[in-house]
Amino acid sequence: MSESEGDTVAGRSAGESDLAVHLDGITKRFSDVVANDDVDLRVERGSVHALLGENGAGKTTLMNVLYGLYEPDEGRVVVDGRERGFDRPRDAIDAGIGMIHQHFMLVDTMTVAENVALGNEPRKWFGLAVDRARIDREIRDLCDRYGFSVDPDARIGDVSVGVRQRVEIIKALYRGADVLILDEPTAVLTPQEVEDLYDVLAELTAQGKTIIFITHKLGEATHAADAITVLRDGESVGTVDPEGTSRAELAELMVGREVLLEAETEPVETGETVLSVADLSVIDDRDVPVVSGIDLDVRAGEVVGIAGVDGNGQAELVEAVAGLRTPDAGTVRFSGRDVTDWSRRKRIESGMAYVPEDRQERGLVMPFDLVENAVLGSQRGPAFAGDGRIDWAAVRDHAEDVVGTYDVRPATTDSEAADLSGGNQQKFVVGRELERDPDLLVATHPTRGVDVGSTEFVHDRLLELRREGVATLLVSSNLEEVRSLSDRLAVIYEGEFVDVVDPDAVTEEELGLLMAGEHPEGTTESETEPPVGGEGGDER
């Protein structure tokens, strides 16, 4: 699809009076970087509008302009036909704009009602007390109106991720939002929760609400949106009708070239067992068992995937394997050696690379520049400190290689990690870890927040490592990713493997049921012992 084809569709947009939002000629600069360049976005009232683009394309910046976090250098923000100037998010909220962030802004120890009304509590008795009855009544009214099943008295820490997302939507509606901005709304949801979200969006738009959502998932955009606007390098390359385009055409619009959307694996003969986990149990910081008696083997040249809803023990399992957490029982063996009590640094030096779940907390030092971040974990190794002192010239060369190879933007190693977008932070961490020349790669959500072009590159690099005989333990909430890359797929629920499946044979619906702790009708729990063990030398 050409850019002109996309622009033709955009030209059929409704008149100004039919638009809930019109961002007219928005330009936003940060020093010498132009994040948005004369962008025009027209969102019809009562529609679902998707915003697609590579990391660094400017889509989050554009939504931050609409939400009052940034003031545009040029252009107009028009809401319901009225030009507006927002100095802060409060101004946007007052104008009927609400934003649901990818990482929910909720307090776990508070109830649904307390979170929804936080900062906007109605008062009674001449302002001396919070009117809790009114809060509950208004929340229940919103739930009845939009078909939400949410208990106002439930504590946030006790509800599912899908319910938390509904609470964020209710919070925005409670504040009077007519336009809802959703940032990567399905990133942590099960397939069933994603379908539920689609139903929620349909009900909201049926009652006149307008939805704008940022997503890097092409199937999500074509399924849920009424219109899709694609940004590339800070510019709009057109708005298209989802029914008249394909995922491949959208990917080409985003990246500017043809993109392979699904990783193509080929049979690889596996070798000796590289990682062996036996009867592993972990008790978390709250003294709650989160991993219970897990057995796991990964062989050279094999990718073993773990699928599950976030919070079911996969994070603690991976931390025990990577050396960030000491298990309470069981052993971790790496290349035949018991490494259960080894430090993270010693595991790195022995050939274990690790892409962490939280790039900011575990993968980067945010005030450090990319040169300093490039040497993390290797600062005492022979490649960069042969004589005991860090060779900063070698480190800089390495950092520049990672930035160039993995398309990190802006392409300067003098940037601080904090100055990069989330997707570019992720690409840098993935590049640093994959280039360690590991024997074992432990990768957690390696392409979370990464655009389609870079996802293709990372997948190709993972498969290249597989061909080179690297053992890979892959954890991902992206079911397409974990199914297409894995040789075997273990499903984790409440700290245990409930089944091990063939990723080529299992359906997405069956995976979703297993991730919720249920076995699909007509099947039984796998009798495989150990759950993800086996002998070496098999071919996929």
Q: Which two tokens stand for residue 232?
A: 């590339």
Is the confidence at residue 7, as pLDDT, over 50? no
Q: What is the pLDDT of residue 536?
A: 43
Q: What is the pLDDT of residue 119?
A: 67
The CATH label, of 3.40.47.10, 3.40.920.10, 3.40.50.300, 3.40.50.720, for the domain at 260-351+438-533 is 3.40.50.300
pLDDT band at 17 (very low <50, low <70, confident <90, very high): low
Q: Is residue 301 a contact partner of residue 469, using CB atoms and an 8 Å limit?
A: yes
Domain ranges of the chain: 3-96+178-255, 106-176, 260-351+438-533, 362-436
Q: Which two tokens stand for residue 530?
A: 């150990």
Q: What is the pLDDT of residue 519?
A: 75
Q: Is residue 242 a contact partner of residue 439, using CB atoms and an 8 Å limit?
A: no
Q: What is the pLDDT of residue 463?
A: 92
Measured CA to CA, the distance from residue 41 to residue 77 in angstroms comes to: 10
Q: What is the pLDDT of residue 524?
A: 46
Choose between 410 and 291: higher pLDDT.
291
Comparing C-alpha atoms, which of 468, 472, 470 is closest to residue 486?
472
* Equal fold, 3-96+178-255 vs 260-351+438-533: yes
Question: How would you classify the pairing of strands 337-338 and 74-79?
Answer: unpaired
- What share of the chain has pLDDT > 90, as a percent? 48
Instruction: Give 371-408 pLDDT, tens digit per residue.
Output: 999 999 988 888 888 788 999 999 999 999 999 999 88
pLDDT band at 261 (very low <50, low <70, confident <90, very high): low
Question: How would you classify the pairing of strands 329-334 and 337-338?
Answer: antiparallel
Highest mean pLDDT, choosing among 105-119, 327-341, 412-426: 327-341
Instruction: Give 160-179 pLDDT, tens digit per residue.
Output: 778 888 898 999 998 999 99
Is the confidence at residue 520, as pLDDT, over 70? no
Is the confidence at residue 192, as pLDDT, over 80? no
Q: How far lies 500's CA from each of 295, 308, 349, 507, in Å?
A: 12, 12, 31, 13
Number of H helices, E strands in the chain: 17, 22
Is the confidence at residue 518, as pLDDT, over 70? yes
pLDDT band at 186 (very low <50, low <70, confident <90, very high): confident
Q: Is residue 31 a contact partner of residue 205, using CB atoms and an 8 Å limit?
A: no
Is the confidence at residue 447, as pLDDT, over 60? yes
pLDDT band at 358 (very low <50, low <70, confident <90, very high): confident
Residue 353 three-state SS:
strand
The per-residue pLDDT of the chain, averaged, comes to 86
CATH class of 3-96+178-255: alpha beta
Q: Is residue 31 a contact partner of residue 53, using CB atoms and an 8 Å limit?
A: no
Is the confidence at residue 293, as pLDDT, over 80? yes
Measured CA to CA, the distance from residue 452 to residue 200 in angstroms comes to: 26
Measured CA to CA, the distance from residue 486 to residue 471 in angstroms comes to: 11
Q: What is the pLDDT of residue 98?
A: 92
pLDDT band at 18 (very low <50, low <70, confident <90, very high): confident
Is the confidence at residue 325, as pLDDT, over 60? yes
